[in-house]
Amino acid sequence: MGRIVVNFDPSQAPARRKPRRWPRILALLALVIIGAIVLAAVGGYLWWRNYQSTPVYSVALLMDAAQKGDMEEMARFLDREEIVRNMTAKVNQKAVSRYGGLVSTTAQQKIEQSVTSLPNLNQTIGIAVVSEIQAVAIEQSQPFVRRLMTMPSIMTVTTEGDTAKASAKLSNRTVELTMRRDANRWKVTSFDDDVVVQRVVDSVMKDLPPIGTLDSTNPLFKMPAKPRKRRR
């Protein structure tokens, strides 16, 4: 019969291999990298969603729609009634200033009433604002992604609650915008641009009394006071 021999001598036992650490280190490193990628993706998504709710993003969408000539999309970011209401006051001031210091207080009020009551004023202001936005967008034509990247460099925005003030630097002037939060976007409620205001004033002046009409019987004007003679 065969015999089974068991060796109890420790010196004769085979040596055990030490477990390698590199696989564990590599696995841990892979988990760290995957975790960082997931956190970066989540953080980027949250940042993007937040950026989409900012006034700058709405202006970028407005300019992109203007560049493409998409009037319906532009209307989503323009409150035309508020824009007209706010610009009318500036048009009145500019129109009155065209007459210099010859306008009486009563005449000034009548001129302002005449401007406000013009049947085509709202349309004139609306067309002038939209045309200027389109002209600027076409002049600065660029892909939407690049526009998003350049917008922060040309716009300064301050936000207070649901109202935002934006200052856009163009090549030859600065345009001031007032915006109001509207759900997940922002709408322009005031478009302060001297170029557009002057263009509207030029259009409405033909419906106002001619400049230089100094008829003393005309209630719209006052004659300059005659210098008093000095007593000797």
In this predicted structure, what is the pLDDT of residue 214?
A: 41
- Choose the weakest-confidence range: 11-25, 35-49, 139-153: 11-25
- Say how far apart CA 32 and CA 108 lie, in whole Å: 73
Higher pLDDT, 170 or 144: 144
Domain residue limits at 95: 52-207
Is the alpha carbon torsion for 144, 147, 149, 151 positive or negative?
negative
**Assigned domain for 110 exists:** yes
**Assigned domain for 92 exists:** yes
Q: How confident is the model at residue 19 (pLDDT cuts 50, 70, 90)?
A: low
Higher pLDDT, 220 or 21: 21
Beta bridge partners of 178: 165, 190
Backbone angles phi and psi of 172, in degrees to 5: -125, 5
Beta bridge partners of 64: none
Secondary structure of residue 174 in the 3-state scheme: strand
Nearest to 138 by CA among 67, 63, 195: 67
**Assigned domain for 202 exists:** yes
Mean pLDDT computed over 55-60: 94
Q: How confident is the model at residue 177 (pLDDT cuts 50, 70, 90)?
A: very high
In this predicted structure, what is the pLDDT of residue 99?
A: 77
- Say how far apart CA 53 and CA 159 lie, in whole Å: 12
- Choose the weakest-confidence range: 4-8, 17-21, 53-57, 107-111: 4-8
Mean pLDDT computed over 78-94: 92
**Assigned domain for 93 exists:** yes
**Assigned domain for 138 exists:** yes
Percent of the chain clearing pLDDT 90 (strictly above): 42
- Say how far apart CA 177 and CA 113 lie, in whole Å: 26
**Assigned domain for 122 exists:** yes
In this predicted structure, what is the pLDDT of residue 223?
A: 44
Higher pLDDT, 128 or 22: 128
In this predicted structure, what is the pLDDT of residue 112?
A: 82
Per-residue pLDDT for 28 more than 60?
yes
Q: How confident is the model at residue 216 (pLDDT cuts 50, 70, 90)?
A: very low
**Assigned domain for 45 exists:** no
**Assigned domain for 28 exists:** no
Mean pLDDT computed over 200-226: 64
Number of domains in the chain: 1
- Say how far apart CA 201 and CA 55 lie, in whole Å: 29
